């Protein structure tokens, strides 16, 4: 059994290395601020734990993070079970998110695409659909970034090959974005 302290030390070492990504994390925040300031919305997509992260971050934007304020427009494309299952059944799972981007996204919107490997086909297709609409795409990934880094407008690549460490960093980044947007947009009760 791996000792908890070893897990904690691995997490801490990765977080120290993540500091090298500060500029790109801040650049992504600025894109999100611009999106919402121009009346756009933030769409999020991911699979498995990353799907849960999409829902978590979207909830922080819409409901609240630390401040009582007006809602910020965000939609997790991972939540509508009827769309997800109908599309996977009638078409395929690779286009389950791109179809939703096609249906509800506009040029002024932003897509946060989360894939720990950077190679999830349905995430890559969602990015392609968003780019075809002229949207900004923010990628959250890990390892070497995979194909995602070639397609996204801005990519945050967590310096780890361990899925758990990557997801831990993704939620920290998402939380930071929520706080920054609350401050920058100065939205009150």
Helix (H, G, I), strand (E, B) or coil at 123: helix
Q: Tokens 């690549």: give the residue.
A: 157
Domain range annotation of the chain: 4-185
DSSP state of 65: S
Determine phi and psi for 149, rounding to 5 degrees.
-65, -25
Q: Does domain 4-185 have CATH number 3.40.50.10490?
A: yes
4-18 helix and 163-185 helix, angle to the nearest 10 degrees = 50
Answer for the pair 137, 149: CB distance below 8 angstroms, yes or no: no
pLDDT in tens, 130-168: 999 999 999 999 999 999 999 999 999 999 999 999 999
Count H helices, E strands: the chain? 8, 5
Provide the greatest CA pair distance for the chain: 51
| Torsion, Cα of 18, 22, 23, 29 (10° steps) | 120
pLDDT in tens, 6-49: 999 999 999 999 999 999 999 999 999 999 999 999 999 999 99
Task: Indicate the helix (H) or strand (E) that contains 110.
Answer: strand 110-114
pLDDT in tens, 43-68: 999 999 999 999 999 999 999 999 98
Answer for the pair 153, 136: CB distance below 8 angstroms, yes or no: yes
From 174, 179, 139, 178, select the one nearest 53 (Cα to Cα): 174
pTM of the model: 0.96
Beta-strand relationship, 74-76 and 136-142 = unpaired
């Amino acid at each position: 059994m791996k000792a908890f302290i070893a897990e904690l030390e691995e997490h801490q070492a990765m977080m120290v290395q993540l500091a090298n990504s500060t500029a790109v994390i801040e650049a992504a925040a600025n894109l999100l601020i611009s999106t919402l300031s121009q009346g756009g919305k933030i769409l999020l997509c991911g699979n498995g734990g990353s799907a849960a992260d999409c829902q978590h971050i979207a909830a922080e934007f819409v409901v609240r993070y630390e401040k009582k304020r007006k809602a910020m427009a965000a939609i997790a494309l991972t939540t509508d079970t009827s769309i997800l299952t109908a599309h996977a059944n009638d078409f395929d799972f690779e286009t389950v998110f791109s179809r939703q981007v096609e249906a509800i996204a506009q040029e002024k919107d932003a897509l946060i695409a989360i894939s720990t490997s950077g190679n999830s086909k349905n995430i890559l297709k969602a990015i392609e659909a968003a780019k075809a609409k002229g949207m900004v795409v923010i990628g959250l990934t890990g390892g070497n970034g995979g194909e995602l880094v070639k397609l996204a407008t801005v990519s945050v690549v967590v310096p780890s090959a361990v899925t758990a460490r990557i997801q831990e960093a993704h939620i920290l980044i998402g939380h930071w974005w929520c706080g920054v947007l609350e401050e920058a947009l100065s939205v009150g009760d």
